[in-house]
Every structure is written in structure tokens, then in C-alpha cells.
Structure 1
Amino acid sequence: MKFITFLRNDAEHLGVLTADEKEFVDLSEAGIAPRMIDMIKGFDFLREPIARLIANGSRHSTSGLKLLAPIRTPSRNIFCIGKNYYEHATEFGSSGFDSGSVGGNEVPEYPIIFSKPPSAVVGPHAGIASALDPYSSVDYEAELAVIIGRSGRVAAADDPMSFIFGYTIINDVTSRELQKRHKQWLLGKGIDTFAPMGPCIVTADEIADIGAQTIQLWVNGELRQSASIGQLIFDIPTLIRTIGSSITLQTGDIIATGTPAGVGIGYKPPRYLVPGDRIRIEVPAIGILENNVL
């Protein structure tokens, strides 16, 4: 199933797309669940009623629909992973903007974990406020995001994949100069509007092999990033176990899994985003996330 959060009559609504994605059922209208996080928490009991609504409920056209971020306001910071594709680790290590770099081939031994605050999240077609970076060093990072479906710590005997509800797309927008100056990543990556997310959440059972999916990013129609998600240095089970072995995961937590090579800082000279730029990210099984730079 593909779930969306959208705006109707100035109120946040929850919907589920039909198979052709041209129509949707308004779950909030049907009294199923008012918000995405409520639906995820109760999904084991709601799956069958939702399936019946898709088959028999009132449908609405997706034409002109104003999508919001699937989880509009996360309950806590987004967990993010740094340098998790080999070629990106190399390009970033060579850029001079990595506070921990001692050379050009900086492949981490263990996952690098940082976070972005909920206030950074915006939805599809929302603007990225580049003026909030005073150094005009705004960069893009296409990332697959994992949505956690159940709470708890990950024990040694647990299958980390059993904690996943579904997947979405995140653009880990970054002020490279702030990232460099402060010797850590929160300020450079946590700026308001610097976490576009969407267009939907796809339940994990809809994607047989997430590693076989590609992730691609275009700036103004020019392909900048393209990789298989299977090329992650630390795969999704490793990331979930690394975080969840010591931090209790909560339903609705979001883990952004890292970005492939081709970011703006990797070019010489860097190719940063400027007002008027349009960024498009696609993961075929999830959809397309587009945003403009303001």
C-alpha cells in the first residue's frame, strides 16, 4: 500500500492510493485514522479495513492534490547516516569539507549517525529556503528513508527488517559551509526546510528487494546522482541494529540511509543550489519527490 498525507480544507488528512495512483481513498474522512503515525501504530488491525476501503470506498482524484510530508511532524529527530556509499565517501573525503577526513578515501569503519530536527521537514513541491544558509553553499543529497513500524530495542535474536513499516524518500539538504565550520553536521543539515520528504510511504511488503531499487536525482533536468540501494556500505539491517541496539526505536521513527556520489560538493568547483533550481528525486517503487529552491 502507498499512504499519503495531504491538505484538504486547511486540515491534514491521511489517504491511501489506488493501484493506478490516479485516485485515493481519504482514510481520515472514513474515520480510519486521522494521521500517519496513528495508522502506523494500528496497522496490524487496520490493514483489512483499509483494503476493503480501497476496493469499495469513495475515491477522489489525485489531480491537484496538495501533498504534505508523509509524516508531517516527526515525533523526534530523523536518524541520518553519513558517507554510506563508497564513491560518495571518497568524493566527500576529497572535498576538504569533512571535519574528520585525513585523506581522499574516507570509508567509515562503522556507521556515522547524525540527526535532523523535525522542523526541517517539508513536503513535496515545498520550497527550500536557501537564504537560511548565509554562505550560499546549499547542497542536495538523495536518500532512501526507512520508516519504523514498531517500538523497542533490537535484540541480538531480532530480525531488524521486522521493525520496518515502509519506505519513503528524503532530500538531505545541507549547508556545506556550516557543516564545515562547526565540525559537526547538525547545524549544516538541520536548517528549516532542509528535509523535503515524500511523496508517500510504501509499505515494506510492496517491495520484494529494496536493494534492487535505484535512487536518482536531477537538478534542472540534469542527472547528478544515480545508484542502486544495494550499494550501501552499511545495509538497512545493519543500520537498524546499530541504532536500535542501544536506543529504543519508536513507531514512526525515520532513518535516512545515506546518499550516493554526485553531490554538489563533489564537483570542482562545487555546484551548489541557487534560487530557481528544481530538484527531482526518484525511487521507482516509491515515486518522485520534487522541490524548488527559494
Structure 2
Amino acid sequence: MSAWNWATDPVSSDELADYYLAETLDGLYTPYALRMPAGDGPHPFVFVAYGNGGGGMQWLRDRVHRFRHVTDVLLEAGYACAWSRYRTEVELGYQNGGVLRTDVRQGMELMSRAPLEYEDEVAVLRHVAGLPAIDGGRLFHLGVSHAGEMLFKLLSQYGGLLRAGVAAEPASHELLTLDLHSDEKVTVADGLRDIETLEMRSVSRARRAMTDPYEVSRRLAGVDIPVLVLGREQDELQGIFRLTYELLAARRADAEWRSWSHDVHGYIYPEGEPDDVQKEALAAIVDFFDRHRGIGG
């Protein structure tokens, strides 16, 4: 595994981020920047993700440095952690692509479709689990916005990888089969939806927009871990966030919900000094992970 540790970046005068390349399901590579807590391992690990993919190494390095507070908090709590970069989202790729199937033709692998962005997360999780300093049985996921939805997409098709996960402000439009075409604020050009101005603040409206409740139930049946869903009181998509939780809670008694009032989408990833709400939310996240950390603390 050490052969793929291809770069080291000083985060401060005495702390480093080690950059690794994880082989994706189709044989390419996706990077992640690993930070390790003090003390001997193996350590539990938190995958830290935000939004859609793309941006490459420039995006990843910017996250490591400019949004380092969340990883500082996790390190202090004894968790190894990593920001990662994954491929760009494909419009309705999860909805239309189905489960990824593989077979062999002429001695080489053949796939039913290309891997999607959440499957790059799978690749990173499998790779990091093999590192000697990481406890592969105690992997966690922390995702915001599109990356919150990605957690559920991952769980619906790839079980047994994670111990617990946090979905903060999960943009679960595709997961929940929401019909957005009739919304006057949603436009479609060349097959791509523009939902930047979408508003869906109420749970009842989000529930009415579901086109296939049976399929949503099937997807959520794959969730095999406790999940904490975080909302944001004034967010224009708060109804989607809350509905994601309510549908999950109907299946799992260990689903949890917390919501705070804050002006920033993605408030759990402070840029610079955190405010009181951000400190409280991050403390709640660490407490959630700690409660599901298992033997060894």
C-alpha cells in the first residue's frame, strides 16, 4: 500500500497530510489526503466529503488547508481522516444506471456502466482500510450536500463498509425519486437540470414530489449502519433533508436528526475560526461517531 503514498504536504509546521492514490473500480486512480492522530494505531477513520466531484488536486489541496478545522476536530478526538476527490456527478446516473455489474470478456473486465462518484468513495474506503495504521473495521463517513446523498447511494449498493455515517444537508433529489420537472424554478437544457434556485422547505411538499416510494424504500433498505442526518433551519431544501431522515427513521430505530440555524450551507465545515453553532454541531458529530466507535474507544 505504501507505494501509492505519492506526496506529503505540510498542513502546519509540525503536521502533515499524506496524499494517496486509490485504484477506482475501473482501474483509474482517485486521490485522498490522509491525516493521522497522535498515538499508535490502528485508528478509526472518517471519510470527509463535500458536494459534487471534479476539481482535481487543486480542489483537494485547497480543502486540506482552507477547511482544516473539521479534520483538526476529528484528529483531536482520535480519528484518522481524509478529504478526497472523486469524479463529477452524472445527471441521473444513479437513477438510470442501476447496480454496477462486472464480468470478464477475452480475459479482461467488462462493466454494465461506468462507475459513478460514490463508487470512487468505495474505492477510497477499501484502500484506506488496507493501511496498517487504520482500523478497517471502524470506518465512518461525513458528507455534506451532494456528498450527504452520496452516503445513501453508497449504502444502497455496497454494504459492510462503514460503521456509521453523517449526512449533513443531504441533497437527496435523486435518491428520493423527486419529480422536479414541474417546478417553475427548475430548468432543463441539453438533458441537464438546473436546480440552483429550487425551494422545497416543507416535508409534505417533498413527499408529494416522490415518484416511486417503493423504490426509495428499497434503496433505504440497504442502509446497514446508524446515520445522523443534519438539517439547516433556513435552508431552501430543508424539507428534503427532513424527509430523508423521516423515511430512514421509519426503517431504522437508530437514525438520528439534528438541525441548527446558520447562514452558511455546509456550516459544519468552517473556514477559519468556528462560531458557537459550528462548534456545537461538530461536537454532536464527534459524539455520534464515538457512540458507534465500538471496542477500544
Q: TM range, normalised to the smaller chain?
A: under 0.3
TM-score, normalised to structure 1, is 0.23
Q: Which has the higher contact order (CA 8 A, sep 6+)?
A: 1
Q: Which has the higher strand share?
A: 1
TM-score, normalised to structure 2, is 0.23
